[in-house]
Amino acid sequence: MRRSRWAWGLVATALSVAGCSPEASAPESGEESQLTASLAAAWSVGVYYPVGTQVTYGGRLYECRQAHTSQADWTPVAVAALWLDLGASGGGTDAGTGNPDAGSGSDAGTGGDVIAPTANLTASATRFTAAGTLNLNATATDNVGVTKVEILENGAVVATSGQYSRSFSSWNQNGSYVYAVRAYDAAGNVGTKTVTVAVELPGQPPGGGKRIIGYFTAWGIYGRNYHVSNVPAAKLTHINYAFSNVSADGKCILGDSYADIDKGGGYPGEWDPGQLRGNFRAFKELKRTNPQLKLLISVGGWSWSTHFSRVAATTATRSAFVKSCVDLYIRGQFPGVDPVHGTGVFDGIDIDWEYPVGGGLPGNSNSPADKQNYTLLMQEFRSQLNAVTAQTGKAYLLTIASGASPDLLANKQETKKLSDVLDWINVMSYDYHGAFESTVNFHSSLNRVTGDPGAADGFYSDGTVAKMLELGVPASKIVLGVPFYGRGWGSVPNVNNGLFQSGVPTKGTWDDGSSGLTGVFDYKDIKVNYERAGSGYTKFFHPESKQAYVYSPSSRVWIAYDDAQSMGAKSDYILSKGLGGAMFWELSGDDGTLVDALYQKLH
């Protein structure tokens, strides 16, 4: 399942990276336990390496990409995000090394040209409050000579010359645009310069104009008996389809081929050779009658994030992984399906990596370099999606589902840089607490709650949003996650109506022998069986958390959840903060009540 478990699963890291750009500062001169490496010394453990430092390791020369203090398993070979391979340290050839990140200059590491070009980028305006045209002019100089100049928009190359122009004419183009120039010389040295442009044009769509994004689970068609035909499409703007799996060799693969592309749906000709069936065909048909609805494939999730760290690790693995996802879901190259029938299902890609650097399921690959590699991965997605756009004329969406921990947002991923590349970030502002802990608490509190033992960690929705805004994420790119399920505990003493008391895991709606006791309850289950008169449960609504909860002194079961009142309060919060909308997990947990509450406020 996808539900975020960073509250108990995150693994701490000792990474002491000072920054991810050449501007990262060195430590204070008096800082203890750090040695400064000399130029081209042999790499060793416990040394502080500033950006640009060159070391030798295994007969090769490496240059520090980001400032850090070395650790035993962060060798130049193991962590490419920290070290750039410049070639053989003795001046030999790089031929046949197989290193996709090796420097391309013929004199790299031999005492030749090590001076990067000086790049400059000017914009005709850095803020648009009315329709207009942006003109960019890039220049570059070098001690030997500039061989190539590129201009990038939010991480994707948009020009290979010194000029680039584009027009802004509509409110739906609003947001931050980060433009960069990259200038190369023959030795492979790169100089960069960036300019940020803010677009703030007047106008908005009818009503609240916010995104209403729901996750549809492929497995919902089985025991839950929830099908595409049950989706309230008219009240949604986007659906994220959960999930695509990631193979051990680093490729996007179908999560459930029967549910995805094979199950019959009664459509004419669906059993002809090369035709598309399954949920994908059903969604393609659903979009015909709901043209406002966009469908994204969500890749990974709680169960299938095993290989993300490995696929994000190098230029070659990133490129191959992204190509596989784009070919499969955007170009419609499904197994046994003619692409003419496979195209047009998905309008974008949503990455659900749980979680970069550490956390998630035991056995997930992870690395301190995930923090920077995640950004590089999403830049590669944006670049390849833009390439398809150049062929089809259709724009494709790129989003992620992000953990909500303020620590993760600040230290485990480059949240601001990610937001520059993405259309928006779906933040999983739920599962702050659950039966994986021994203290009863709200799992998706909107505000800080008086007496909450976890409040100091920022484990509530407003704490998450505040951290994202502090990091520089535009409010319009923050989509607040709301749960269509509750989390509960058993054996809860009848003190303070159970809140903040001790508790143990209890049986949830879909728990069985394989899932164990999760304490997760569908909203519609809570509404029918726990809110009803005579159930033995009393319903409460907490004025600070804006969550409902039910408790029975006889069964000693306590469950917190979002109801219609909660959705109203969180919608008001979204509107007051200027956020991009609401995302929820997941459609089959609702009887229509919660979607309608969001729709009434946000559409």
State mean pLDDT over 141-168.
89
* 276, 327: one domain: yes
Number of domains within the chain:
3
Q: Is the peptide bond before 355 cis (omega within 30 degrees of 0)?
A: yes
State mean pLDDT over 139-156.
87
* 47, 88: one domain: yes
State mean pLDDT over 336-345.
97
Residue 330: pLDDT band (50, 70, 90) is very high
Residue 93: pLDDT band (50, 70, 90) is very low
Q: What does the block give as tokens for 497?
A: 């109506």
Q: Give percent of the chain above pLDDT 90.
A: 71
* 98, 179: one domain: no
Alpha carbons 483 and 458: distance in angstroms, whole number: 18
* 255, 345: one domain: yes
- Does residue 208 carry a pLDDT above 80? no
In this prediction, residue 170 carries a pLDDT of: 81
Helices within 326-425 (DSSP H only): 339-342, 370-392, 406-407, 415-421
The candidate with the shortest Cα–Cα distance to 426, out of 602, 579, 572, 560, is: 579
* 187, 298: one domain: no
CATH code assigned at 63: 2.10.10.20
In this prediction, residue 232 carries a pLDDT of: 97
* 122, 108: one domain: no
Question: What is the per-residue pLDDT across 469-498, written as a single tens digit (0 to 9) for each?
Answer: 999 999 999 999 999 999 999 999 999 999
Query: Chain-wide mean pLDDT for the chain?
Result: 87
State mean pLDDT over 426-448.
97
Residue 416: pLDDT band (50, 70, 90) is very high
- Does residue 603 carry a pLDDT above 70? yes
- Does residue 2 carry a pLDDT above 60? no
In this prediction, residue 194 carries a pLDDT of: 82
Domain of residue 166, residue span:
118-199
In 363-502, the DSSP E strands lie at 397-402, 424-427, 478-483, 485-489
Q: Is residue 599 part of a domain?
A: no
Residues paired with residue 42 on neighbouring β-strands, in sequence order: 56
CA atoms within 13 A on the CB side of 425: 29
Q: What is the pTM of this model?
A: 0.69
Residue 101: pLDDT band (50, 70, 90) is very low
Name the more confident of 446 and 202.
446
Q: What does the block give as tokens for 488?
A: 């509960």
* 335, 423: one domain: yes
Residue where a domain stops, chosen among 61, 89, 112? 112
State mean pLDDT over 271-289.
96
* 382, 260: one domain: yes
CATH code assigned at 147: 2.60.40.10
* 444 within 8 A of 429, measured Cβ to Cβ: yes
Q: Residue 6: phi, psi to the nearest 5?
A: -65, -25
Q: Is residue 164 part of a domain?
A: yes
**SS3 state of residue 96:** coil
* 367, 260: one domain: yes
Q: What does the block give as tokens for 361?
A: 């399921």
Residue 447: pLDDT band (50, 70, 90) is very high
Cα-based distances in Å from 8 to 332, 341, 386, 405, 497: 38, 43, 37, 11, 25
In this prediction, residue 248 carries a pLDDT of: 97
Question: What is the per-residue pLDDT across 249-272, written as a single tens digit (0 to 9) for each?
Answer: 999 999 999 999 999 999 999 999
Residue where a domain stops, chosen among 88, 112, 136? 112
Name the more confident of 286 and 43.
286
* 263, 323: one domain: yes
Residue 64: pLDDT band (50, 70, 90) is confident
In this prediction, residue 177 carries a pLDDT of: 77
CA dihedral 519, 523, 529, 533 (to 10 degrees): 120
- Does residue 375 carry a pLDDT above 90? yes
| Residues 54-64 as b or e (16 or more Cβ within 10 Å = b) | bbbbeebbbbb
Instruction: Select which of 153, 354, 380, 437 is catalytic.
Output: 354
Q: Is residue 258 part of a domain?
A: yes
Q: Is the peptide bond before 243 cis (omega within 30 degrees of 0)?
A: yes
In this prediction, residue 114 carries a pLDDT of: 84
Question: What is the per-residue pLDDT across 569-588, written as a single tens digit (0 to 9) for each?
Answer: 999 999 999 999 999 999 99
Alpha carbons 302 and 313: distance in angstroms, whole number: 20
* 341, 321: one domain: yes
Task: Determine the distance from the C-alpha atom of residue 228 to the mean position of all C-alpha atoms in its chain, rounded to a whole number.
Answer: 25
The candidate with the shortest Cα–Cα distance to 138, out of 197, 185, 192, is: 192
Count Cβ atoms within 10 A of the Cβ of residue 566 and give its class: 0-12 exposed, 13-18 middle, 19 or more buried: buried
In this prediction, residue 319 carries a pLDDT of: 97
CATH code assigned at 268: 3.20.20.80
Q: Is residue 499 part of a domain?
A: no
* 413 within 8 A of 10, measured Cβ to Cβ: no
State mean pLDDT over 521-548.
97
Question: What is the per-residue pLDDT across 169-195, written as a single tens digit (0 to 9) for each?
Answer: 987 677 667 788 989 998 888 888 888
Q: Is residue 510 part of a domain?
A: no
State mean pLDDT over 110-126.
85
Q: Is residue 412 part of a domain?
A: yes
Q: Is residue 124 part of a domain?
A: yes
In this prediction, residue 153 carries a pLDDT of: 81
| DSSP letter assigned to residue 520 | E
- Does residue 220 carry a pLDDT above 90? yes
Alpha carbons 360 and 200: distance in angstroms, whole number: 38
Alpha carbons 312 and 370: distance in angstroms, whole number: 7
Task: Determine the distance from the C-alpha atom of residue 457 to the mean position of all C-alpha atoms in its chain, rounded to a whole number.
Answer: 21
Q: Is residue 252 part of a domain?
A: yes
In this prediction, residue 105 carries a pLDDT of: 34
Cα-based distances in Å from 372 to 17, 151, 185, 377: 11, 21, 24, 9
Alpha carbons 413 and 407: distance in angstroms, whole number: 9
Report the alpha-carbon angle 196-200-202, nearest 5: 165
Alpha carbons 358 and 356: distance in angstroms, whole number: 6
Q: Is 586 in the active site? A: no
* 194, 248: one domain: no
- Does residue 423 carry a pLDDT above 60? yes
CA dihedral 143, 146, 151, 155 (to 10 degrees): -70
